[in-house]
Structure 1
Amino acid sequence: MRPLIYDAAQVDAHLAGEPLPALPADPHPDDLLTDAEAGAIAGITASTVRADAVTGLIDRGTERHGRRWWTRSAAEARAGREAQYKGRTAGAKDLAPRIARTDPRVREVAATIAAAEAGTAKSVTAAELAEQYGVSTRTAERLMAKAGEARRKES
């Protein structure tokens, strides 16, 4: 929920017991906007507004009521600039696809499980694998699961 920010002239008139002046009809360059509102004006997301404030592409804004605000003029100025990072173009072929590397421990565990099923070795537990590889029991369980998947793909 957006906190209410009052017009200073209206507050002064109210405290003095005078009639309240009308609020400005048009947006003012000094209007304070949230990151989402500034982003809507600038044509970017709220997270980009915050990131641009850190990197200096938009002013840092002001903090009021425990929240950061940006002026309408800063948002409008940011709207005229292109984004610094555009990301990869869809379908770009400049980089080779990543090669999925299998953890060598998975092959070892798969061989151990296969030997146990063949009766040439004793079965292994996750606790024993955890001790053997110096990992947590959960990591050993993951190694066993991946070894099982690898064996199913081979058969």
Structure 2
Amino acid sequence: MIVDLLIKELRELGEVSKPLFAVIEGFSEDRLFVYIFGNSMGLPTISVVVDEPLPENKNSQVLLKGLLIWKAEDRNPDAEVYLKAIHEYPDESYDFRYFKLQAIRDEGDHLILIGDKAEALKLRQHYDAFDESMYADEEE
């Protein structure tokens, strides 16, 4: 789903602000919380997490404002929107994984962002586990 289409769909809800959740089939069996709207590698992203973020789960009006800022900054309104999720490994390294936003579904009292079940592998970012020795004083 592109930025302009998502803006249109959110505006059709009017001034009603509903909590947002996400579903990515094959990535997580649980409903995910919406953490933050941002820019990753020049693409509009919606970060989703397993645990409810602080101070709260985001709502549709916050997302709409973020998309309007994206568009106002002369970014590409035809850009695909991605759900960005963290996958953690047993060794504590992790990936940022990206899934195209396919649809938004109104569930009455909340909205569900639906991510493509196929990951955009070319966008995956891997990070090694944090190691305290990385910051050790070289003089020791």
TM over 0.5: no
Where is the helix percentage greater, Structure 1 or Structure 2?
1
Point out which structure has higher relative CO (alpha carbons under 8 A, 6+ apart): 2
Point out the structure with max Rg over C-alpha: 1
